[in-house]
Structures are given as C-alpha cells and as structure tokens.
Amino acid sequence: MRSLLPLTLVFLLGCQADAVTPIQEPVVAQKAPVQVAIVEPTTGELPGKSIYQLDGSWTTQDNKPLKLESFRGQPVVVAMFFGSCRTACPTIIADMKRIEKAASPEAHKNTKFVLITFDPKVDTPDALKELENKFKLDGQRWTFLHGDAGSIREVASVLNVQYREVSEGQFSHTNLITLLDPNGVVTTKIEGLKMPVEPLVAALNKIAGDS
C-alpha cells in the first residue's frame, strides 16, 4: 500500500497545478533560461532530440504531401487542435497570431506557424483550407497538417500533448504552443490559453536573429 501513495500524490498535484496554471505558468516560463546560444547546422544528420525524425506523412491545406523534416531551416511555432472545436481552438490560433504579430521583423519573415489536427476525419485538407481563410491566415507562413491516427499520436507524444476523443468529433486535449528551433528541437512552450507570449517571442526572436 505504501508504494501506492507517491503515485497518487503526484496525480493530485497534477490536478492542483492544472487549476492554478494561469498564475504559475508565466512566472515559470520567464525563469527558464532561453537556451538557443548554439545554433547547430541545419544540414546533415538531425540532432537526437529533433522531432523531424518522425517519419509520418502529412498533407497540407493545399493538398501537398509533406514530411515534418521539410520545416527544417527556420523556427516553427506549432500547436495541435481540431477544427470543429468552438472554444479552445480559436483561442489557440489567436494566441499564435499574437506571437506572429509580436515577433521581430526578422522572425516574422522566417517563422512558420503549424497547426496539426487531432481529427483527420473531419479536418480534411479542404476543411483546413477553409479554416485558413476563416482565420485570415497567410498561407505562406501558416501550414495546417492532416495525417493518420498513428502520426498524430506520435507527434502529440513528443510535444507532450495529451488528447482523447470524448465523443464523436470532440476532443479533450492539452493546450500547448511549442517553439521548435530550425532543427526541430523543442525550445520552449506556452501551456494553457491566453497566456503571455513574451517569453516564447523572445526565444523566437533570438533564434531568428541567429539563424
């Protein structure tokens, strides 16, 4: 019985942390040092932690096939979402637009914004194209990705996004916006909605300035 307790406690803390996220997270994020001083070459073998090693096949809102590795060479701001979600997902796109707007001119020019759907059945490439228009996103900079269930599960796992289909076409999920360096290594992230974007923007500007 004694060994049950630590697990349970961790779990309870998990709930607790969740409840206070809006207060705690920005403080934590600002404390974390921005570790982008060394820019690795963006050719040759990928770093061991690069998510661009995932081999899943994706399709964009313009029906173009794509591997994640094709994002190599520039910073990427990525989040997962589903199109028929009426509350959290528009907010996550709005948060990403705030990042886009706050980025330095250099970062603004080079950064890609990527949205990966949990719901390949409903969010077909054509449906994703409609979202691009609906949210008035610059298709040169914003990419929606449609993939198979296994590829989605993989990318969620390396971004630490948890999700579950709670009823047909409705998903519960973690809200995370993640910054990837030009080699696809997770640099920093924003947890939750309507959080301050400054720490992530600072890291982004640094990467864009260096690369």
Partner 1 sequence: MRYWLIIIGLALSSSTALAAAPERVKITGDNYAPFYPDKDKDQTLVPDFEMDTFPVTNSSFLAFVKTHAKWQRGSVKALFADESYLENWPAADSVAGIENQPVTHVSWFAARAYCSAQNGRLPTEHEWEFVSRADETRVDATGDLAFNQHVLSFYSKPGGGQIDNINQTSANYWGLHDLYGLVWEWVEDFNSSIISSDNRQGGDKQESKFCGGAALNAANTREYATFMRFAFRSSLKSSYTLHNLGFRCAYDLKSE
Contact set with partner 1 (CB under 8 A) = 1-4, 7-8, 10-12, 14-15, 18, 21, 48-51, 53-54, 85-88, 91, 150, 153-154, 156-158, 160-168, 170-175, 192-193
For the bound state, the minimum distance from the C-beta of residue 119 to partner 1, rounded and expressed in Å, comes to 12
| 140 vs 167, beta carbon nearer partner 1 | 167
Check if the beta carbon of residue 83 is closer than 8 Å to that of residue 169.
Answer: no
Check if the beta carbon of residue 17 is closer than 8 Å to that of residue 187.
Answer: no
For the bound state, the minimum distance from the C-beta of residue 18 to partner 1, rounded and expressed in Å, comes to 5
Q: Strand, helix or coil at 114?
A: strand
Q: Indicate the DSSP class of residue 103.
A: S
Return d(Cα 17, Cα 188) in angstroms, integer.
19
| 104 vs 163, beta carbon nearer partner 1 | 163
| 165 vs 198, beta carbon nearer partner 1 | 165
For the bound state, the minimum distance from the C-beta of residue 54 to partner 1, rounded and expressed in Å, comes to 8
For the bound state, the minimum distance from the C-beta of residue 149 to partner 1, rounded and expressed in Å, comes to 9
89-to-10, 18, 134 alpha-carbon distances in Å: 28, 18, 13
Return d(Cα 151, Cα 167) in angstroms, integer.
21
| 60 vs 117, beta carbon nearer partner 1 | 117
Return d(Cα 76, Cα 117) in angstroms, integer.
16
| 51 vs 99, beta carbon nearer partner 1 | 51
For the bound state, the minimum distance from the C-beta of residue 13 to partner 1, rounded and expressed in Å, comes to 9
Give the pair of three-digit tokens for residue 199: 């720490």
